[in-house]
Structure 1
Amino acid sequence: AVFLPSVSRADGVIWCRQLVEELDGIYSDLSAPMDVSVHAGIAQAAETGKADDLISAADEALRQAQMEEGSACHAADRDRPEHHDSEKWRVMIGEAIARGQMSLWMQPMISSGDDEVLFHQVFSRMKTADGWIKAGIFVPMAERFGMTPDIDRWVLERSLALLRLEPDTRLALSLGMVSVASEAFRKELLEQLSAAGSERRRMQIGISEQAVHHHRAAVGLLVRGLNRLKVPVIVDRFGVGGVPFSYLKDLRFQALRIDNSFVHDIDSHDDNRFYLESVTTIAHSRGVRVYVTGVETAREYAALQGVGIDGAMGYHLGRPFETEH
């Protein structure tokens, strides 16, 4: 832990990222040929805050950074006045799951060809005494405690119920790393999808590229099981997992979802645009669709349409909304 007195949040983030980059270079040289990632979380002290609250905020930011496969520094959410230590998070998440204090949210994936909705990405939000908390904040903590299978199970059940009520709806659910690695969860997931009947073909399952990297055997079993049920599989956060493109030959994925770090400011970032063009060409040659997330501006969307992607998601195209069921 490092305390930086009289430093603004913006300057602190810049310093943190420079430190992470320098440490990444040092440890990468020392650990070769192994891969190394350095993660950091940073939080700004409040005049009336306590030291424990500051540490808790930085810890939450660190857990979000650890969701990145590569080295990264995340800053604590300034919109949340309350931050919690690890034990408090474990209790809060457990109680929310046990009491059903969760809500199902969706965000549309838009076809780049005709702006039609291809499907909706589903995710959860958690209700606490502080209000509703986004998945991007509490899911990294849930991963730390091995609780994502319970969350993914809840989202799956609600999603299948929604598909039964709305026959024209198509959904995509992204699984946590712990869920993918769990044999018990895998068997339960496949059993539920098998019992779902034709609805399961309107459900896509997302598996992060990090999960492919760390749990090759478990991912192989899961993907083959989903293939047998004709449930489409998406590789989530493609491009950051350190996995060679050749794994597409060994496992039958139906789509890739490019990590949003490649999308930000793509209208002025030639390297990222070239990367996306290359990935899209290779994927299409194998019959794999390419989606992107994090599209925030009209310029980004226009640049992406020129790359040849199949679909895009982001605040520019459609904000998340809570389901009515």
Structure 2
Amino acid sequence: MQRSPHKDNALAQLDQMAAALDASGDVMYEWDLATDSLVWLGRSSSLFGLDDKVVPVSGEAYHNRINPEDLPSRMRNLTDHFAGEAYYDCEYRVRDGSGNFQWVHDRGAVEVSTTGAPTRLTGVLRPVTIRKQAEARLEYLASYDELSGHFNKLRLRESLDFSLEQSIRYKYEGAFLAVGVDHLGMINTAYGFEAGDSILVELGERLDKCIRGADIVGRLGGDRFGVIMSVASNDEADAIADRILQTVRETPFEVNGQRIYVTVSIGQVFFPEQTKTSFDAFAKAESALLGAKSNGRDCVKPYKLTIEQCENYRTSMVIGEEVKLALKEDRLALAYQPIVAADTHEMVLVEALLRMYDRNGDIVPAGVFIPVVEQLGMMRVIDRRVLELALQDLAANPDITMALNISGLTASDRGWLRALSSKVKARPDLAERLIVEITETAALHDLEESARFVSSVRQLGCKVAIDDFGAGYTTFRHLKTLTVDIIKIDGSFISGILENEENQIFVRNLLSLAKALNHTTIAEFVETAEEAEFLAREGVDLLQGYHFGKPEISPEWLGSKNKQAADKRVAAQGKAAIPA
């Protein structure tokens, strides 16, 4: 009896599909929902680590092999898919023949009857255990130090930021210790780097035993650990530091059968009296640690301000209080600088720059108060207010596109993102005219977090620009990861570019890179017609600088109501609070 060509062709296609599944390691299945029977195509026995005779042949038997923690999620996904509300696409763990759980990616589609009832689910299982293990590893390394198992520097900084915020809010004292191993380089030279690593691991364990239950230990990097004492008086912090010194000093470290005597030095900073941000606390504690090493090591040294530093600190506190009062009294304003097309010099957009009025109504330059705001940890609050002001002016001026510069801290602040989202989701016309600028150094500080931020902002309909490009070490890979829209060339490469061939080469290479990635380019600090002509000839898209206009608080294009608010001066209330 002769077989039909059609049937031969179908069998050939089935063989090809089976071969492709074998090569990929995937397994195809067909689940008859009416009879609860499962049919597999591919090496299902290899996937489950089971004999062919005990591979699940029913939906119930298969569900019994799914990890109980993952089964509810799969069932919800199935229910939503059967109801036509979602694709069926999920990942979960399945118990193999040895009792271990393996991750699979399950993706499929349901067939329905003429009445709309689900009848059959056809899908593909893909083993993804290796990928899930790699993801778990990366997630672990995002928070923990690979060598010691303690918090890494980033997670330690986040914990310290939280402790600082709590100490300021509830007015209690705390301390941060930087603990460094003395002469670790000599130990590495004499006994090998493995010995040094062993000492660091054991030091971390000893620190855990010396601190209190609520205290936190993390790795600062190199030979240094950090200890956060969220609630501690000066005496309590001193007692813990002395206990650490004694514990390390009195008990030798056992490395490959050898007893090695080690000491540590400790730098100590108290908060919120001496510091209000984690960056500042790290710097001051490590400065004190260097002082302890200079004093002969094996000792603790508290951070102390010099007379000049005390004066600067008092000045900073005065400025900080004035900024808080300016926020309360609505004395913050935005100045706008035009950004023009390189070929026509017509204004394309404006950059919003923060300014403040003192109590006499005089403008305070940003350079006077912004560094203090950053030092005192107030930048998030300021950036929230700047966002409000910018969106108000955007709403009042529908023909204006605006660039808004935010701090590195705000670039990782989900609260700021939520505020942006709540204001522009109902106003897509505002989102499409808003450009959020982050500095290159902030973007590279935590590339993964910055990429998430950029993606979130762009999903809202806004554009994102990298400011001060060239000041850091951005590579082609970094730019592809960040997927920004605009690159602003750092002004140091533009100023005097006609006389500086190295800067010309840098700008040309940058423009080639930007063109390859389809990025718009802006050159800032353009001060002469000759510089503008040169940059336009080289291919820069937009230009910004004093040649085209200085920042103005109330430019002509600003809506009348907003212009009146911008022109308003605060009545004099005594002498200006900002020191000279």
Q: TM-score when scaled to structure 2?
A: 0.41
Deviations 1:236-295 (A, max 9, x none): 110012232321111221110011000110011111011001101110111101101111
Quick check: 1:108–1:313 contact (8 Å CA) kept in 2? yes
SS of residue matched to 2:344: coil
Quick check: 1:273–1:307 contact (8 Å CA) kept in 2? no
| Aligned-residue offset at 1:84 | 7.1
Deviates more, 1:273-282 or 1:302-311: 302-311
Deviations 1:68-87 (A, max 9, x none): xxxxxxxxxxxxxxx97121
Quick check: 1:143–1:177 contact (8 Å CA) kept in 2? no
2:444 pairs with one of 193, 208, 213? 213
1:113 is matched with 343
2:549 is matched with 318
1:251 is matched with 482
Quick check: 2:523–2:543 contact (8 Å CA) kept in 1? yes
1:90 equivalent in alignment to 2:320: yes
1:304 pairs with one of 535, 542, 551? 535
| Aligned-residue offset at 1:114 | 1.1
| Aligned-residue offset at 1:215 | 2.8
The residue type equivalent to 1:97 in the other structure is L
Quick check: 1:97–1:150 contact (8 Å CA) kept in 2? no
Deviations 1:33-92 (A, max 9, x none): x9xxxxxxxxxxxxxxxxxxxxxxxxxxxx9xxxxxxxxxxxxxxxxxxx9712112111
Distance 1:145 1:189, change over 3 A: farther
Quick check: 1:254–1:289 contact (8 Å CA) kept in 2? yes
Q: Which one has a bigger Cα radius of gyration?
A: 2
Q: What runs of 5+ residues in structure 1 fail to find an aligned partner?
A: 1-33, 35-62, 64-82
Deviates more, 1:225-234 or 1:139-148: 139-148
1:168 pairs with one of 391, 395, 399? 399
1:102 pairs with one of 310, 329, 332? 332
The residue type equivalent to 2:515 in the other structure is H
Quick check: 2:400–2:433 contact (8 Å CA) kept in 1? yes
2:507 is matched with 276
1:125 pairs with one of 350, 355, 370? 355
Deviates more, 1:93-102 or 1:202-211: 93-102
CA distance in 1, matches of 2:470, 2:399: 31
CA distance in 1, matches of 2:475, 2:370: 27
Q: How many residues align?
A: 246
Quick check: 2:336–2:352 contact (8 Å CA) kept in 1? yes
Deviations 1:289-325 (A, max 9, x none): 1101111122222221222100111111111111351
The residue type equivalent to 1:110 in the other structure is V
Quick check: 2:428–2:461 contact (8 Å CA) kept in 1? no
Quick check: 1:160–1:196 contact (8 Å CA) kept in 2? no
The residue type equivalent to 1:175 in the other structure is I
Aligned residues: percent identity? 27
CA distance in 2, matches of 1:179, 1:278: 30
1:195 is matched with 426
Distance 1:140 1:291, change over 3 A: same
RMSD: 2.1
User: Which structure's relative contact order is higher, taking Cα pairs within 8 Å and 6+ residues apart?
Assistant: 1
Deviates more, 1:231-240 or 1:174-183: 174-183
